[in-house]
Amino acid sequence: MNDHLLSLMTFFPLVGMLIILFLPREADRLIKTVTLVVTIIVFFISLPLAFDDVFVTSSAMHYTEFANWISVGDYFQMNYNVGIDGISLWLVMLTTFIMPIAILSTWHAIDKNTKGFMALALLLETGMLGAFISLDLFLFYVFWELMLVPMYFMIGIWGGKNRIYAAVKFFIFTAVGSLLMLVAIIYVYYYSVQAGVPFENGFSVVHFAQMDIPAHLQTWLFAAFAFSFAIKVPMFPVHTWLPDAHTEAPTAGLAVIGIIYGALVAMMQDDVKKLVAYSSVSHLGFVMLGVFAMNLQGLSGGLLQMINHGISTGALFLIVGFLYERRHTRLIADFGGLSKVMPVFATIFLIVTFSSIGLPGTNGFVGEFLILVGAFESELRIFTVFATTGVILAAVYMLWMFQRVMMGKLTNPKNENLKDLSAREVAIMMPLLIFIFWIGIYPNTFLDKMNPALENMIKQVKGKQQIAMMVEDMDQTVTQITVND
């Protein structure tokens, strides 16, 4: 079974999607139950990955699968080539872990066209998992674009009052970035063929990494890939689709600008969901700062912060969803003093708030601390100084929001009879709370498996940088000798 575990995990949601399509449209509860069971099965299929110690001792790709997919003559070939290492491992596990929680959270929130929503949710899971396991660039692009379709319809059909605007904006931003990435992928393949890379390798990421592409070409290729990924992160200044999409959806220098800008704008929001959305821009700015540091501390902190973001920000959106289901408003001014009538909700909300601002003992602290240490040890010290203000600002806007929503007097009569969290809602939040403290108290469970792959990546990048610098120095020397002669 291990030989095809990744394929089984990735495409099993499509089986659930097909089952749902044959169920009657009126059977809402059955449709939701089938979807929940399918996502739980996918999570259990992926569990052996998390407990496999091979990621601790080896940086290679594991659970690999390879098959010829599309061949055109002796020049063009695309392959079904998948595998994971310690970098993609936890992103895969985060996806399979979050999906059942997300489906369970929609139990009462989605009450129209449930069949369509659940089918799209399962299609989205396949797209996400496929993107994380792809070792063929064209296959990655297929899954990358596949994610766009269900997200567009989920925002546009089941979103808020500005859902059409948010969906179209999201689609345009992502599609433009994706097209640039496609051009870069095709050019890399063309260059690899010209350089004599074996035709059978197709669009293999592993083999592309071994090529010596001239520095001036790398600059343009990096710009195309970086622009596409920057939109998806999102990074300042191509971030503007995210607050709209997150708000309307159903429940180095640029990185620092994103941290501070996101925090400042979040502080000014009067809508709880928009505040959380802008906090995402700030938090993901920390991730990019860790990546730009290009050392083990920064990269491990950045990758861990990606996982933290999925847990903490996901928990915040669930919390906002619980409030909206009860009051049908997200305005901070409509609340106040809710801790008096919702004590369990207030306790969970406070824990997630502490996680979001990076309180020691929670997951957010470990990720941000490693990122800042890594950035300070690199050539980004001045950026690190400014980035630390994002930590302070996060505490300001998150605690201020919590104080206005949960503390003080209960002045609004509409809030007097609000019900505390149900057993279902507590069950939704408990797994997230467990990982908030698990990562915060003992992060080595996760770091041990990602570090070997990160170390290998750093060696590859730094090695190629040194070679490129040596070649550049030689070119300058030859040019100088030629000029002198």
DSSP annotation of 67 reads E
pLDDT at residue 92 above 90? yes
pLDDT at residue 434 above 70? yes
Q: Give the per-residue pLDDT at 478.
A: 42
Per-residue pLDDT averaged across 200-223, rounded? Answer: 77
Q: Residues of 248-274 as b/e, b for ≥16 C-beta within 10 angstroms?
A: bbbbbebbbbbbbbbbbbbbebebbbb
Our measurement of the distance from residue 143's CA atom to the centroid of its chain's CA atoms, rounded to an integer in Å, reads: 15
pLDDT at residue 367 above 50? yes
Is the distance from CB of 146 to CB of 122 less than 8 angstroms?
Answer: no
* Closest to 84 (Cα-Cα) out of 14, 147, 10: 10
- Per the prediction, the chain carries an average pLDDT of 82
Helices 5-21 and 114-133: angle between axes, nearest 10 degrees: 170
Per-residue pLDDT averaged across 169-197, rounded? Answer: 80
Report the distance separating Cα 14 and Cα 276, nearest Å: 31
Which of 199-203, 277-281, 283-287 is predicted least confidently? 199-203
Q: What is the pLDDT of residues 396-420, one digit of tens each?
A: 888 888 898 888 888 888 888 889 8
Q: Is 130 or 174 the better-scoring residue by pLDDT?
A: 130
pLDDT at residue 33 above 90? yes
Structural element, H or E, at residue 369 = helix 363-377
Is the distance from CB of 3 to CB of 85 less than 8 angstroms?
Answer: no
pLDDT at residue 473 above 60? no
For residue 172, give both structure tokens.
């345009």
Q: Give the per-residue pLDDT at 431.
A: 93
User: 475, exposed or middle or buried, with CB in 10 Å at 0-12, 13-18, 19+?
Assistant: exposed
Report the distance separating Cα 483 and Cα 379, nearest Å: 34
Per-residue pLDDT averaged across 343-364, rounded? Answer: 92
* Closest to 415 (Cα-Cα) out of 470, 341, 306, 305: 341
For residue 225, what pLDDT band results from cuts at 50, 70 and 90? Answer: confident
pLDDT at residue 11 above 60? yes
For residue 264, what pLDDT band results from cuts at 50, 70 and 90? Answer: low
Structural element, H or E, at residue 390 = helix 381-406
What is the pTM for the complete model shown?
A: 0.84
Distance between first and last Cα of the chain: 67
For residue 411, give both structure tokens.
């002045």
pLDDT at residue 200 above 70? no
Helices 137-158 and 163-194: angle between axes, nearest 10 degrees: 170
- Residue listed under structure tokens 């792959």: 453
Q: Give the per-residue pLDDT at 472.
A: 52
pLDDT at residue 334 above 90? no
For residue 203, what pLDDT band results from cuts at 50, 70 and 90? Answer: confident
Q: Give the per-residue pLDDT at 484.
A: 56
Q: What is the pLDDT of residues 233-245, one digit of tens each?
A: 655 555 555 554 4
What's the CA angle centered on 239, arms 238 and 243, to 5 degrees?
A: 150
Q: Give the per-residue pLDDT at 252.
A: 44
Q: Is 97 or 391 the better-scoring residue by pLDDT?
A: 97
pLDDT at residue 177 above 70? yes
Q: What percent of the chain has pLDDT over 70?
A: 85
CA distances for 193 relative to 140, 201, 211, 226, angstroms = 19, 10, 11, 23
Structural element, H or E, at residue 6 = helix 5-21
Q: Residues of 436-472 as b/e, b for ≥16 C-beta within 10 angstroms?
A: beebbeebeebbebbbbbbebbeeeeeebeeeeeeee
* Closest to 444 (Cα-Cα) out of 53, 85, 62: 53
Report the distance separating Cα 342 and Cα 338, nearest Å: 6
Per-residue pLDDT averaged across 434-462, rounded? Answer: 90
Q: Give the per-residue pLDDT at 157.
A: 81
For residue 83, what pLDDT band results from cuts at 50, 70 and 90? Answer: very high
